[in-house]
Amino acid sequence: TAKEKNGSAFVYYDDDIRKKTLEDSSLEAEAESAIRNREFRLYMQPKVDIQNGNRICGAEVLVRWQNPRLGLIPPGRFIPLFEKSDLIIKLDRYMFEQACIWLKSYLNGGGRPVNIAVNVSKVGIFQPGFVEYYAAVKKKYGIPDHMLELEFTENILAVDTELFCDLVIKLRKEGFLCSLDDFGSGYSSLNLLKDLPVDALKLDIMFFRKSRDVRRERIVVSNFINMAKQLNITTIAEGVEEEDTVEFLQNADCDVIQGYIFAKPMPKEEFEAMLGRTDHLAINHNEQGY
Ligand code: C2E
Ligand code: MG
Ligand code: MG
Ligand code: MG
């Protein structure tokens, strides 16, 4: 009967949650030693300056977990879990320091200056000593000013806008670039833009996912870009997968694209090899193959 079906569906659902909870608690238990064992890997996705011949201007560092039991785990699977405890703070600090180590050795090897962006969780930024820690690590590795960028997801604004702006001002005094990630994905209110002291806005991936009406999508996007431009804020379009979007963004005066249309995130060694090989990226016509 229908009732029985409902009953079994409920049991199935319940079982699913239990399985996920078990898996979550084992991931959590494994996390501390995973940092020590260097199981978290730095992937890097190139950022491309579309106003200057598609030059590689930098990369965003994205974490992957090489778990001995489960293989390569994407961040979507464990970041939300880590954000429930201070594991996320440890992971973010680890990723940031590893990024500095990479950048230092790359620059020492004669690499041209690139901009390296690291993500910071909304849990970490409001911890006391946050700015001091990041500034001290930057100094420890002798990274020049304006080469490291910190990305903060837009929902940080829902926590404490005033405090966030103060912290950004301090970070910029320490020579960091600061950007607002996932801009337009939900929490930001447009009026916040007038006081937001950030260097860059990253237009969320959702702007470039299938719209019912591409004409309307483009009107919205180009006006955001215009507004940012007049406020002296760099615009970065994230998640671009289509060639005609690149052309549109070039004409709309968007500064940078980070998307599969140019390159997917890759292990840091591969990114370094790419930089050694070329300064510019071409449109990737095989993007559907990913
Ligand atoms: P995010 O910071 O917004 O990073 C961009 C995400 O979009 C990345 O997913 C990237 O692989 C994906 N992406 C870029 N271009 C395209 C495209 O053209 N098509 C599609 N479909 N996707 C594209 P990823 O690597 O899975 O990371 C997901 C999120 O996990 C990140 O979103 C960020 O919020 C978080 N994350 C990653 N690494 C860290 C970290 O070290 N610390 C913290 N706190 N969060 C991190
Ligand atoms: Mg990001
Ligand atoms: Mg984003
Ligand atoms: Mg995102």
Average pLDDT, the chain: 92
Q: From the alpha carbon of 74, which atom of ligand 1 is closest?
A: 26
Q: What is the pTM of this model?
A: 0.93
Read off the pLDDT band of 1 (50, 70, 90): very low
Gap between the Cα atoms of 195 and 153, Å rounded: 17
Q: Is the pLDDT of residue 167 over 70?
A: yes
Phi-psi region of 182 (alpha: psi -120 to 50; beta: other; left: phi over 0): left
Neighbours of ion ligand 2 (CB under 5 A): 119, 151, 181
CA of 162 from ligand 2 middle (Å) equals 21
- Residue nearest ligand 1's atom 43 by CA: 119
pLDDT winner (highest mean) among 4-8, 204-208, 270-274: 270-274
Residues 220/185, Cβ–Cβ less than 8 Å: no
Gap between the Cα atoms of 164 and 8, Å rounded: 47
CA of 238 from ligand 1 middle (Å) equals 9
Q: Is the pLDDT of residue 123 over 90?
A: yes
User: Which residues contact ligand 1 via a Cβ below 6 A?
Assistant: 45, 62-63, 74-76, 79, 88, 92, 95, 119, 121, 151, 153, 181-182, 205, 238-241, 258-260, 265
Per-residue pLDDT at 13: 64
Range with the poorest average pLDDT among 15-29, 77-91, 195-209, 240-254: 15-29
Tally Cβ neighbours within 10 Å of residue 17.
Answer: 9
Residues 239/259, Cβ–Cβ less than 8 Å: yes
Q: Which of 50, 58, 56 is nearest to 249 (CA)?
A: 50
pLDDT 10s digits, 228-247: 999 999 999 999 999 999 99
196: which 2 tokens? 């937001």
Per-residue pLDDT at 289: 45
Q: Which of 74, 83, 66 is nearest to 30 (CA)?
A: 66
Q: Is the pLDDT of residue 290 over 50?
A: no
pLDDT 10s digits, 10-40: 556 677 777 777 788 889 999 989 999 999 9
